[in-house]
């Protein structure tokens, strides 16, 4: 028999649980074994659990805490009263100081944000100015107004349409003499870069003004150089890195990770090319997946080489031979190969601008930043301010989920998910607005939940029944993203858009080995049918359950095929032959009939305007979802900027890559047991 009198309540808890961190009160020592037996038997706790014993120990300690006498104080009574009074006064004063400080800090932030976000004063554009496009990091589809980002000089908050719109205004603005594109670490996807490049080409053709592209000692990769080929002069710093060595995409596989954890991914899919599940069950690329990735890379390489050939006047065959025989890795080699105009430091590039503008040596160059010029009204630049009708752009950006779009600004990035309810509200707003004549559905999504995709497609279909609606595809409009697109009659894609991926899959994780062998946890149950706990991660799927799931996934796939067939005017068999989960580039998608035409977002706006009988040149544009109230934007902007600054300061690129892999694994766990219409992989072409 245990001699309970030897232990305090805290030591008993330590022996039972191995910790005392959750024990609320220090239990009293010195309780005899007989008293414990009487105490428990009086409460019917002969077989109590360890948790119940711990609770009784705490109860007993509280009941005995009032016994005994308080030791005598060493101070007289009046001194003790004085000390308590002074400590109360000091605590109150300290609390008041903290409260005043917090209120003052919050007021400072509010005033700071209002001053930073004030749009009342239009940017001052001097005659003879140069539009400076400092491009780095991503170029998002949408970017909510973030006063903190502007205050800290973060140019990455400029959205794609702001970039292309600024170039359109600069072409007509007589005050702007040219565009200086300074690039460093551009990470936007290729379809986004192609839209920016096409806007630069249009600027040069319409205005005849010069465009100079430059990169400092950070160097130029293929993405920076792709944009630079739209300029009439390209300068790189001497001895700077220069990347001209072809394209590659890498795929991470987690089969070994799951084996080490004792977790078995059980996959059900429809589509030979639906390779979204391959990273879970393989350690290399399957033949169909390798085939489709090769086609995508070849399309990207062709687009890149054609852009270089057009911009630099070099034959594409010679460029391909250069890549295969001797890759170019520095700016000197790039100059020798005729890929750039010359080697110049920053001050020398400014000298080239002075020569173009006819300025004297040392004379200051007037310039305006991209973020500032994006706020210049179209009328001030000499363009129509609208009034000839209105087109609404409804954005569907990110992975498709049920419910509302999250406002999670993890690591300072914009949310990468679109919720079905948020999308439905935005689409209803555009549909019910009397001032909106036509709608452009801008999709930049790799897909996601099949059920949420169908709910969003229905809202888009209701809008298409009332108003002209055109789909514009961004970097991705694949799987669930293409599912939504079937609501429209006209689909516009970029040549490097990734679309198609018409297929469905489901993943069910069997973690029985992990629970049993690693954690020592076993389960038992009582059920009213053999499939009542379908998808239970504590056991593998039975043959009957797998048959049921395969039937459900195949039904979803057949509905997908039928919607595509009805939208594209094809038979189900014809759609099935180009579906099977295969990913197509925008160029190849047009060839097989999945999209109607190739073009930018502005092209889709023009098509929608003409379908509504509007003059595209005088059409104004509004966007949905609507911007959030100022206070919410203020809080989210502060949080996003703090997260971005903290992440950049405290983590390396390798650490951020590991965090990204962890987020991927967590997203897999959230998809357990749900039908997914999702792009096979997160494709990054480097």
Q: How far apart are CA 343 and CA 328, in angstroms?
A: 15
Characterize the bridge pairing of strands 241-244 and 233-236.
unpaired
- Per the structure block, which two tokens stand in for 296? 């995508």
Nearest CA to 210 out of 187, 248, 181, 183 is that of 181
Task: Give CA separation, 586 vs 149, 576, 635, 646, 680, in Å.
Answer: 33, 18, 38, 38, 16
Is 529 one of the annotated active-site residues of the chain? no
| Sign of the Cα pseudo-torsion (598, 604, 609, 611, in order) | positive
209 is catalytic: no
Q: Sort strands 328-330 and 241-244 into parallel, antiparallel or unpaired.
A: antiparallel
Preceding peptide of 49 cis, ω within 30°: no
* Marked catalytic residue, from 331, 472, 479, 585: 479
Give the pair of three-digit tokens for residue 118.
């004030």
Return contacts of 160-163, CB within 8 angstroms, 24+ apart: 160/192, 160/195, 160/196, 160/474, 160/601, 161/393, 161/601, 162/370, 162/371, 162/374, 163/133, 163/139, 163/196, 163/199, 163/370, 163/374
Q: Which residue bears the tokens 């110049």?
A: 344
Let me know the angle formed at the C-alpha of 138 by 330 and 635, rounded to the nearest 5 degrees. Answer: 145
Tokens describing residue 330? 């520095």
Residue 117 burial by Cβ neighbours in a 10 Å radius (0-12, 13-18, 19+): middle
Long-range contacts of 64-71 (CB under 8 A, 24+ apart): 64/28, 65/25, 65/28
Q: Say which of 274, 350, 467, 563 is annotated catalytic.
A: 274
- CB within 8 A of 244, min separation 6: which ones? 222, 225, 322, 323, 327, 328, 329, 334, 337, 339
Would you name the residues annotated as active-site residues?
274, 479
């Amino acid at each position: 028999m245990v001699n309970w009198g030897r232990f305090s309540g805290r030591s008993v808890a330590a022996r039972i649980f191995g910790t005392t961190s959750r024990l609320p009160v220090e239990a009293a020592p010195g309780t005899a074994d007989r008293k414990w037996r009487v105490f428990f038997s009086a409460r019917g706790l002969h077989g109590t659990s360890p948790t119940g014993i711990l609770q009784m120990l705490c109860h007993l300690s509280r009941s005995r805490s009032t016994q005994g006498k308080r030791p005598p104080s060493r101070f007289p009574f009046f001194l003790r009263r004085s000390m308590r009074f002074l400590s109360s006064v000091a605590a109150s004063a300290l609390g008041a100081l903290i409260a005043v400080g917090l209120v003052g800090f919050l007021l400072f932030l509010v005033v700071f944000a209002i001053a930073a976000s004030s749009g009342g004063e239009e940017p001052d554009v001097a005659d003879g100015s140069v539009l400076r496009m400092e491009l780095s990091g991503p170029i998002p589809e949408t970017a909510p107004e973030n006063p903190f980002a502007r205050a800290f000089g973060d140019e990455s908050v400029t959205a794609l349409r702001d970039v292309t719109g600024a170039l359109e205004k600069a072409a007509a603005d007589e005050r702007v003499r040219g565009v200086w594109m300074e690039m460093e670490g551009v990470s936007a996807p290729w379809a986004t870069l192609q839209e920016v490049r096409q806007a630069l080409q249009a600027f040069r053709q319409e205005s005849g003004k010069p465009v100079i592209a430059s990169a400092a000692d950070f160097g130029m990769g293929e993405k920076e150089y792709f944009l630079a080929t739209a300029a009439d002069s390209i300068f790189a710093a001497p001895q700077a890195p220069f990347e001209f060595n072809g394209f590659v995409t890498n795929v991470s596989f987690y089969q070994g990770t799951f084996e080490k954890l004792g977790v078995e991914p059980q996959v059900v899919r429809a589509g030979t090319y639906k390779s979204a599940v391959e990273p879970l069950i393989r350690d290399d690329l399957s033949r169909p997946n390798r085939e489709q990735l090769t086609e995508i890379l070849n399309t990207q390489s062709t687009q890149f080489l054609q852009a270089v050939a057009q911009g630099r006047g070099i034959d594409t065959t010679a460029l391909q031979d250069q890549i295969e025989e001797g890759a170019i890795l520095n700016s000197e080699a790039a100059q020798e190969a005729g890929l750039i105009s010359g080697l110049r430091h920053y001050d020398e590039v400014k000298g080239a601008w002075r020569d173009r503008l006819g300025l004297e040596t040392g004379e200051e160059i007037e310039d305006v930043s991209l973020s500032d010029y994006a706020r210049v009204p179209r009328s001030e630049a000499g363009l129509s301010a609208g009034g000839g009708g209105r087109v609404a752009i409804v954005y569907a950006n990110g992975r498709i989920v049920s419910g509302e779009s999250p406002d999670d600004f993890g690591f300072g990035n914009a949310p990468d998910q679109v919720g079905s309810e948020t999308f439905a509200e935005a689409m209803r707003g555009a549909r019910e607005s009397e001032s909106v004549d036509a709608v452009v559905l801008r999709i930049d999504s790799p897909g996601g939940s099949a059920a949420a995709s169908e709910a969003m497609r229905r809202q888009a279909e209701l809008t298409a029944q009332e108003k002209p609606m055109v789909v514009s595809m961004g970097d991705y409009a694949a799987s669930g993203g293409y599912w939504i697109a079937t609501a429209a009659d006209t689909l516009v894609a970029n040549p490097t858009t990734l679309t198609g991926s018409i297929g469905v899959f489901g993943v069910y994780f069997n973690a029985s080995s992990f629970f049993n062998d690693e954690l020592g946890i076993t389960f038992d149950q009582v059920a009213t049918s053999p499939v009542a706990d379908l998808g239970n991660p504590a056991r593998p799927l039975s043959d009957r359950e797998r048959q049921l799931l395969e039937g459900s996934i195949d039904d979803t796939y057949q509905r997908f095929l039928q919607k595509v067939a009805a939208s594209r005017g094809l038979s189900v068999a014809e759609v099935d032959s180009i579906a099977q989960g295969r990913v197509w580039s925008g160029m190849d998608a047009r060839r097989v009939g999945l999209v109607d035409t190739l073009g930018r977002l502005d092209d889709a706006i023009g098509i929608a305007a003409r379908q509504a009988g509007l003059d595209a040149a005088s059409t104004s544009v509004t966007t949905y979802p609507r911007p959030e109230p100022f206070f919410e934007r203020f809080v989210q902007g502060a949080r996003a900027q703090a997260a971005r600054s903290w992440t950049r300061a405290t983590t390396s690129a390798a650490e951020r890559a590991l965090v990204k892999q962890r987020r991927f694994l967590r997203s897999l766990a959230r998809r357990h047991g749900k039908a997914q219409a999702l792009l096979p992989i997160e494709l990054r072409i480097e």
